[in-house]
Structure 1
């Protein structure tokens, strides 16, 4: 297992304290996470390219759709019928056995981990997500690279934080650092990485966290450029507004993009529901079986194979007619939804850009037939604006949409119509649906990231009124072997740990001690080596505030600290909370 192996690393106490508390310590961690995210992005890009070459025989089959796979020439173009199934047969068991969090588009899982799990993401997600997504995209899955790399980078940041047992706030910042670094290195867009992490992952951030995320994004971008070059991941021509009337036309595109982005999100989860309803076999076999259906879509529209950036560039360059553009738009929604619905692994960022480009290009070509070309302008400008508008409508991340399109083109003159269309698309999407394409996945699982329960039995009762007596703390210097019998007799599954001076150090769980017994160097370990630092619960908190921490903690309870958060003064368990809230009222005297 990964975490027991990490526990073998013995850090000097002064170094750990510096990392946890000093500003320079978190800066150092942000730099390290940025380097890791950059290297992860490089490896992931290499995996995607390798598997694409292996499955299709081309560097990007969406740009070579009239050809078959030269490795199986006797199949011709029909190889796309079997490629997704073969890929699914490889990544399906991998995801089902080792990391089910790696299924789907990844960003919602990171948002949930930051919002409600203190940024904890299993380390194994890093490897499994990279392999599964690369296999999915390489074998024809019509998804993007951003979801996987966000989850990979976030898992790296979470692992670094758990290794050093950093507090909750810094753990969240490290997860955001990893996500930003992954986006920056993958797309060579450091600004987009920063705002993606701030707007979608952290959502509620401080100036301090912004600085750390910027450092990580810049570091990852430098690493990525050193290995992949400094060219943007898309090559788009420069456009500008030639006539003031065009602003009205861009406004109309923004309204259409709001509808398209909402439709994309709705179709995605309806097809996922349909796949859930139809499939009755084992989950590990689902991607292979569903790959046959996806292959049928790719046989009709092979331009949808993989991410499809060359097709997107052709649409912006005006190389397609309106009918084909609309076919690609509908086809991309269907192919991406099928890829996710059958259990594939990949992002929805690139598909939303693709859909926006097709919508914008078709809109621009249509305007040229209805209005004088000198007034309507180039269709590519509408394709460019459509990319940002549809992404903003689907993700509800308008700032990120503006920044990423600006980084792609470097053309400032397109900013005004871009901002206009993005704002209108976002507002339209909010009228049509409460959730984004990311939060809808969580809401369907009963998770509302924006919920703020202000009433009920937990909202006003302070923790000090329900606290239990504190179990006897374990000294940090105690050998693990001596602590095992004490933990085995404890009904809580965890015990507080204090230092030689009586200050609170964290908790040790029975599970951590049991895992340590399987290691060869158990006799050298002390309680401090296995101590974890959960998010603090203080006596002046309300039960509602404490429960969000308690439900995600190991064991059956957590220590309650004094207001200075230096000494444990009691113990809080789930059972004690329920007893206090639902205790019967005392009988009234006759």
Structure 2
């Protein structure tokens, strides 16, 4: 017996003997069940994500120096690689090919989830897989993405670090055997920690996880995610310093008319964000159509096309932050900025399309900076006394294009604020981001993240593939109507009817039989307990106290209706016709469960 695990014997009521494992398993049980357990787990996941971020950035820098001979080749122009000076600038044609030969087999053999930009896989794991992520993803994603970016792949490092941190959270959750809800939360903690440490932006990490990964702002979840983000940030700042991730000049709004220009920039950014998403997947479709060989070889063969693009535009090499900083300073003319914008869209789409591994968050910031700087340069030429500094438009464009592609406005506002540390830019930033988000919503149902899943037939709001609910509708499981209450029924008459109801809630109809809402036993009890005073008169009839829960219709997917049922008071919800005016049935938890586990035949 080792020192970490021992067994204890006990006797059951029937005289049998059971053995209970203690030691390591009891430690896991204590962490899982103790009130402080979630705090320990969140801090651990955050620390792991912070350390993972340090290792990941080191890998990127190491591979970038190995493949290009520079710390960041995007800002080096057409310089040669000092390791192979005889090739001159033409080494960039071969670098993506060599990188693809390394990370292609790695991804194909050990973790296919590591291909692409990563965040959609995390969103899917949280929404439909109980937070379960292949533990191999952490190592494979780090190596594959670092090789891809270091060899010239025009993608970002935030997607990989989100997937790496999330995989760490999922692995820890499985080791401790936490419940499914807590597993999802640990995955979000890993995502928050990765963003926080990578960008030195703890608030952005929190809102990225809450808005995009969890799609929930519950208080308990918020607290755990904050702890993970803080612990990751502390580790990240110890390694990288407490400085802004990007070195950007100070900007401010000089003229009130500029707000109209920022709103216009937001509309254009929304268009560009949607366009970026569509080009990304159109190029991926083209690569899928053209490639007929083994998947492990695809990144190397496709890397030749990427290399030719890098030969023309070396600014597309890797993440490209030096180029982004120059754009915000106004170092480029408008025509070249638009060329860089188009080049980044194509380079990122090609990197993902050939099977590369990396994020689309940083490319959207790059594209936004080029768009904003070009926009600012143009309006400055037309309205020199009103437009203001070009760099302000570049900053706002960064957040607006990201919001237009991801439809995560809160994250966009927070991360740009943390990157700049300037409160003076917050109003134009919020205005442009909101208009970009609205424009994107009008033009597209999906975001750059959800479209990848929908193309695979996965709807995050619907049932998981092969789920037992399948495509069943509410009409297939609903029950008959309980007794109804006329709107004029006095509350003291409704009370005994509610006390006899097995649902604790009854539907209320008007004199023409149209549905008005529901009356719950709790609301009636509270109303009858009120004593008349000087305030407004308490309700006296069922119609006055009726509430409208989330409407459920007979043709609605059962998986969708369950969300409304779980949040509803009582144990049932009325089912309405397509016009949502007439009652046609009643949905209960029991009827929904019968759809999953039909009763055995007698």
- What interval of TM-score do these two structures reach, taking the shorter chain for normalisation? 0.7 to 0.9
Q: What aligned pairs does 1:114-263 form with structure 2 within 5 A after superposition? A: 114-263=126-275
**Residue 385, structure 1, aligned to residue 401, structure 2:** no
Do the aligned partners of 1:105 and 1:346 also contact (CA within 8 Å) in 2? yes
Do the aligned partners of 1:458 and 1:581 also contact (CA within 8 Å) in 2? no
How many pairs does the alignment contain?
A: 468
User: How far apart are 1:63 and its partner, in Å?
Assistant: 1.0
Equivalent residue, structure 1, for 2:459: 448
Partner deviation per Cα, 1:403-434 (whole Å, 9 max, x = no partner): 00000111101100000000000000011100
User: How far apart are 1:459 and its partner, in Å?
Assistant: 7.3
How well do the aligned residues superpose, as a CA RMSD in angstroms? 2.4
SS at match of 2:319: coil
User: How far apart are 1:105 and its partner, in Å?
Assistant: 0.1
Q: What aligned pairs does 1:566-577 form with structure 2 within 5 A after superposition? A: none
SS at match of 2:80: coil
CA 1:104 to 1:248, structure 2 compared with 1: closer, same or farther past 3 Å?
Answer: same
**Residue 50, structure 1, aligned to residue 66, structure 2:** no
Do the aligned partners of 1:253 and 1:421 also contact (CA within 8 Å) in 2? yes
TM-score normalised to structure 1 length: 0.76
CA 1:320 to 1:98, structure 2 compared with 1: closer, same or farther past 3 Å?
Answer: same
Equivalent residue, structure 1, for 2:591: none
User: How far apart are 1:20 and its partner, in Å?
Assistant: 1.9
Match of 1:425 among 413, 436, 446: 436
Equivalent residue, structure 2, for 1:274: 286
Equivalent residue, structure 1, for 2:315: 303
Partner deviation per Cα, 1:525-568 (whole Å, 9 max, x = no partner): xxxxxxxxxxxxxxxxxx9669x9xxxxxxxxxxxxxxxxxxxx
Do the aligned partners of 2:462 and 2:559 also contact (CA within 8 Å) in 1? no
CA 1:578 to 1:26, structure 2 compared with 1: closer, same or farther past 3 Å?
Answer: closer
User: Which consecutive residues of structure 1, in runs of 5 or more, have no partner in the other structure?
Assistant: 1-8, 463-542, 549-575, 584-590
Do the aligned partners of 2:29 and 2:176 also contact (CA within 8 Å) in 1? no
Equivalent residue, structure 2, for 1:18: 30
User: Which consecutive residues of structure 2, in runs of 5 or more, have no partner in the other structure?
Assistant: 1-20, 464-468, 479-556, 563-593
**Residue 414, structure 1, aligned to residue 425, structure 2:** yes
Equivalent residue, structure 2, for 1:110: 122
Match of 1:342 among 344, 351, 354: 354
Partner deviation per Cα, 1:485-529 (whole Å, 9 max, x = no partner): xxxxxxxxxxxxxxxxxxxxxxxxxxxxxxxxxxxxxxxxxxxxx
CA 1:281 to 1:259, structure 2 compared with 1: closer, same or farther past 3 Å?
Answer: same
User: How far apart are 1:318 and its partner, in Å?
Assistant: 0.2
User: How far apart are 1:18 and its partner, in Å?
Assistant: 2.8
Equivalent residue, structure 2, for 1:101: 113
Equivalent residue, structure 2, for 1:439: 450
Q: What aligned pairs does 1:462-501 form with structure 2 within 5 A after superposition? A: none
**Residue 396, structure 1, aligned to residue 412, structure 2:** no
Distance 1:115 1:205 in 2: 15
User: How far apart are 1:175 and its partner, in Å?
Assistant: 0.3
TM-score normalised to structure 2 length: 0.75
The answer to which of 451-460 and 293-302 deviates more is 451-460
SS at match of 1:23: coil
Partner deviation per Cα, 1:226-257 (whole Å, 9 max, x = no partner): 11212222111111100000000000000000
Distance 1:426 1:280 in 2: 38
Determine which structure has more spread, i.e. the larger CA radius of gyration: 2
Do the aligned partners of 1:457 and 1:581 also contact (CA within 8 Å) in 2? no
Do the aligned partners of 2:79 and 2:88 also contact (CA within 8 Å) in 1? yes
